[in-house]
Chain A
Amino acid sequence: MTTQYSNLVNAESKSALVKSLQDWRSPVSDYSAETFVPLLNILDPKSNTLAYAQVLVDALGLAVSVNEFETLAEPLSRFATQIQLEQVESFPEILRRLTRALAQMAQLSENNAQACTVLVDMVGALNQQMALTRLPPMTIEDIIQHKQRLGVGSSHGVRLTPLHIECLRQCLLARRRWLYERVANEVVATRLDAIGRLDTQRLRPFLEYHHYAGMVCAGLGRMEQALQMWRMVFAVPTRFVSAIQIASFKRFTLAHAIVHGKRGTLPPMFVPAHVRSIESVAAAYVALADVCASRQLGAAVKTVRDMNSELVSDGNAGLAQRLLDELPAHCVRACADVYTRLPLKHLAQVVKFSDHPRGGAGDGADDVVDALGRYIQEMNDPCVVLEETDAGIMVVRFVDAQATVPPVQGATQSASIPGVPLETQWSVAIAARAQEANVLQKYLQELDHHLALTRDYVSRSRDV
């Protein structure tokens, strides 16, 4: 094509290629995206990853119509599966250019799903190659005896790249359940070993990655995983409170109330002054979680209604609605601590189900009771059983969630509740868990020790 591209494709050495990319100026719009397709067909993405990537970036930059994007689809998917980590590492900036180009493509073509699919493939390929660079895991004895660094350094193992974050972002914009599942299983599930140097920034990508990962998990209803992702946003030290942390805190608070029925606490390593700042900014969310913890359905519904505008502007209306849906279940389960059996009508009065949208739809008390009965059936909780007495009264019976089954001589039947180990296994289960807990506790103590050593480095931490 032009001399510029010729030099790119036929670079004499890696350093010459990198130099050429550093000084690269994208072509003016005299060309069209389709012009680059023959070049992309000739180039091998495996042996010439950087050149291929730059040509793709330029082509995507010039594409404006859906047809043009479609012509680039095949080269994109070829590149996505054949991207080479080793070559990318020599010029990490190419990842940022690719990310920008793909984001632009998604915006102009209004097809976030396509961009996300390409990104998932790219991230998957990179993750596989990065995983091969993982160092052997250190034992606790290594840590104790040799005082080795816990981190693997920034050049080994699976590391964050701009592609990871854009992948999650496009997934959230695409709003496709199959895409959420794919991203959750292939990207989020892959453990990060380091933040690394494949991105010039460090802190912000870490925060963004875990914030978006939490949103993907929450979208699939995997709340525990979402909680852990959002907790990770507060794992790294920051000099100031970040807007990402505030957004994560709001979602974390709602998700924790959904799962546990009460407010969660941030990791103890997070600066208390920052905790107070965040809590004062997100005071409405904190108040909502506290109302949920007090098991007052009416007050919770009112609070959600009052803060509706804030929820909508924060994009948390769905989570809040989910919280309202789950709250009666927490109230019902709380009754298990006090009652063994009570009439459904009585339970409806105790939890004040008529104050809830699910219970307030009908006109009479019977409607509220029937609505509660339907709700309990939907809960599908083996510890909350709906029965009818001989007199025809609907009664709720609470069964203790036994982790073990009492010993029965010579019995071989399986447990009635799934997941409950038999008598013969309970001691093994307890012993195994106790041992694992001991190992983790020891590891945690060593991590604390390392943290004390690394405090010297905190003074060198940069502003976000």
Chain B
Amino acid sequence: MSSNPTANMWNPLSRTFLLPGELTSQQPKLYSKPALASFDLREYLEGYKGMTKIRRAMYVGEHCTALAQDSYLIALDELESTTYNAKLHTEVSKRLEQFGVALPDRGEWKKDVEQRSQRENQELKKEIARTKAGNLISECQRAHVDLANLCAKIGSTEEAFRALQSAREFCGDANSHGELQVSTVRISQATFRWMQINTFAQRAISAMTTRHQQSDGTDVWIEGSVIQIQANFGDAKWQDAIKELNKLDIGEVAASEVFEVGNTTAKDFAIYATLSALMALGRKEVREKYINNFGYSKFFEAMPECLELLKRFYDSNYSDMLVLLDTVLSFCVLDPVIGPHVSQIKGRVIDNIVVIYATPYMAVSLERMAKDLHIQSADTLESIVVKLITSKRISARIDVVSGYLYKHKVDPRDATLKNIEKMYKSFDSQVDLVKAHIMFLEEESLRPTGSKA
């Protein structure tokens, strides 16, 4: 019996550890191969590097049996070429064996990476000691960052964070502090702990007093913003993601090197932007900010389906748009960022469409609306409309008898009088309370000392 009670528990998102309180013995939901015609697993994973690629490949393997074997093989290749993580290698190998894949013995490789990692560890520790003794601040910081990257390669993420924590005292200026935060973010991105990633990204941005380009050509501000958008999507914070998107100059993002880092791809960014637009924006804004925005051309090239979605949305071709959306989301379910929230995202897109559809009309037939929006039935649409009316996104009332939705107008004079009445009642009640309070305190102040309350 293992001493670790979590040892035999399934581990969501391919982590080799569990977040506090996250004990589950449930199996992940399985999906079929994406219906997206242009989808190719190898091409999809090619945009990522290092641990991000490995974790994503494992996520695909856990959620799609048809692609599991290929994705685990890709993960294994990446593990062997870019990491020293023997433990994860063993785990992935075990998963592949379940598919009957005969793998060559990698004992030599494991021995070799262990020796190399120990050697590099020692060298880096010596370097840290030397630079510390010689008061060489920037070299010392770099050595710490290299040590952190080494720990991440071995698979000791907590050790990596500790090394980065120690590096903080060797930050000479705001720029080096910002770069350190970016290093922290890059390592943490593979953990899929979105709240933590978001915090690190915010720190990276706020550490910079001016826009700064790192030695690898990436702009700290742009990278931090893109990571924040991804983290907000991972955490299902749609409004925050949209706010961050609105702050960005898309042309700058397209021209930056941020997607060369290997943690986020242009395809990911296209999907985040498109889904944000479909969830929150109107047709006019979609045309101005997305369709007619040349800055997005790079991203739509990587994912042409996104542009098609936005065009159908703008053309009010909602039924075809929703069909294409289902196709795109069949791919998104295999993405660890968006995958857990796909049904929520679709719900929000439908809500937005209903609001846009209903807004221009004084009265609209629910039956007709359900047909146009490709919604199952008028009853399903009614429950969506009820939700939107209750959350005040639509000012309308449903006449179930006639099957129509009528725009609801509030008489401003009526509203004013009601507000005044409410205010008056509230003041009236408060006055009595405060008068009693003061009356008591004043009498207390006049009472001779020593007498009982």
B-binding residues in A (CB < 8 A): 149-154, 192-196, 200-204, 206, 228, 231-232, 234-237, 267, 269, 337-343, 346, 389, 393, 395, 398, 402-404, 406, 426, 429-430, 433-434, 436-437, 440-441, 443-444, 447-448, 450-451, 454, 456-458, 460-464
Residues of B within 8 A of A231 (CB): 429, 433
Q: How far is the CA of A55 from the CA of B445 in the complex (A)?
A: 36
Residues of A within 8 A of B105 (CB): none
Cβ B431 vs Cβ A457 within 8 A = no
* A325 vs B442: C-alpha distance when bound (angstroms): 43
List chain A residues, Cβ under 8 A from B440.
Answer: 195, 202-203, 206, 235-237
CB neighbours of A232 from chain B (8 A): 432-433, 436
Q: Are B401 and A395 in contact (CB under 8 A)?
A: yes
Return chain B residues, CB-CB under 8 Å to A456: 445
Q: Which residues of B contact A441 (CB under 8 A)?
A: 427
Do A430 and B438 touch (CB < 8 A)? no
Stretch from B29-37, B301-309, B418-426 contacting the other chain: B418-426
- Which of B118-126, B244-252, B339-347, B406-414 lines the interface with chain A? B406-414
CB of B397 within 8 A of CB of A195, answer no
**Residues A340 and B399 in contact, CB atoms below 8 Å apart:** yes
* A232-B433, A440-B427 known; A195-B400 Cβ under 8 A: no
Q: Beyond A153-B442, A192-B436, A338-B398, list 12 extra A-B contacts (CB 8 Å).
A: A202-B443, A203-B440, A235-B433, A337-B389, A339-B399, A339-B400, A403-B421, A429-B417, A430-B417, A440-B428, A443-B431, A457-B445
CB atoms of A460 and B398 under 8 A apart: no
Name the residue among B402, B416, B449 with the largest chain A CB count within 10 angstroms. B416
User: A430-B417, A451-B437, A461-B453 in contact; A389/B401 too (CB < 8 A)?
Assistant: yes
Asked if residues B453 and A194 are in contact (CB atoms below 8 Å), the reply is no
Q: List 15 A-B contacts (CB under 8 A).
A: A150-B442, A151-B442, A153-B446, A232-B436, A235-B432, A267-B433, A339-B397, A341-B399, A393-B401, A398-B397, A406-B411, A437-B420, A447-B435, A451-B441, A461-B453
* Contact A460-B449, Cβ < 8 Å, known A341-B401, A437-B423: yes
> In the assembly, what is the distance between CA of A206 and CA of B441, in Å?
13
- The answer, among B441, B447, B452, for a CB contact under 8 Å with A454, is B441
B441 touches A461 (CB 8 A): yes
Q: Is the pair B441, A237 in contact by a Cβ cutoff of 8 Å?
A: yes
Contact residues of B with A, CB < 8 Å? 386, 389-390, 397-402, 406, 411, 413-414, 416-418, 420-421, 423-424, 427-447, 449, 451-453
Chain B residue with minimal CB distance to A231?
B433
| Smallest CB separation, A343 vs chain B (Å) | 6
Contact A444 B427 (CB under 8 A): yes
Q: How many A-B residue pairs have CB under 8 A?
A: 162
User: Per DSSP, are chain B's interface residues mostly helix, strand or loop, or mixed?
Assistant: helix
Measured in the bound complex, the distance between the Cα atoms of B441 and A154 in whole Å is: 11
User: A403-B417, A436-B424 in contact; A338/B438 too (CB < 8 A)?
Assistant: no
Q: Which residues of A contact B418 (CB under 8 A)?
A: 403
User: B452 near A404 (CB under 8 angstroms)?
Assistant: no
Select which of A200, A269, A434 is within 8 A of B452 by beta carbon.
A200
Which 6 A-B pairs rank lowest in CB-CB distance, beginning with the nearest? A457-B445, A462-B453, A342-B400, A440-B427, A151-B442, A151-B439
| Chain A residues whose C-beta falls within 8 Å of the C-beta of B429 in the assembled complex | 228, 231
Contact of B420 with A338 in the complex, beta carbons under 8 Å: no
Within the assembled complex, what's the spacing in Å between the Cα atoms of A237 and B443? 13
Chain A: minimal CB distance from B405 (Å): 10
Asked if B398 and A404 make an inter-chain contact with CB atoms under 8 angstroms apart, the answer reads no
| A448 interface neighbour in B397, B434, B444, B446, Cβ under 8 Å | B434
Complex: how many Å from CA A228 to CA B401? Answer: 42
How many angstroms between the C-alpha atoms of A202 and B427 in the bound complex? 27
Given that A346-B400, A440-B431 are known contacts, is A153 also in contact with B417, CB under 8 Å in the complex?
no
Answer whether A461 and B417 are a contact pair too, CB < 8 Å, given A338-B397, A395-B401: no
Q: Which residues of B contact A447 (CB under 8 A)?
A: 431, 434-435, 438
| Cα distance, A451 to B438, chains bound together (Å) | 6
- Give chain B nearest CB distance to A317 CB in angstroms: 28
Partner of B416, one of A235, A430, A454, A457: A430
Residue in contact with B390 in the complex, picked from A150, A154, A338, A343, CB distance below 8 Å: A338
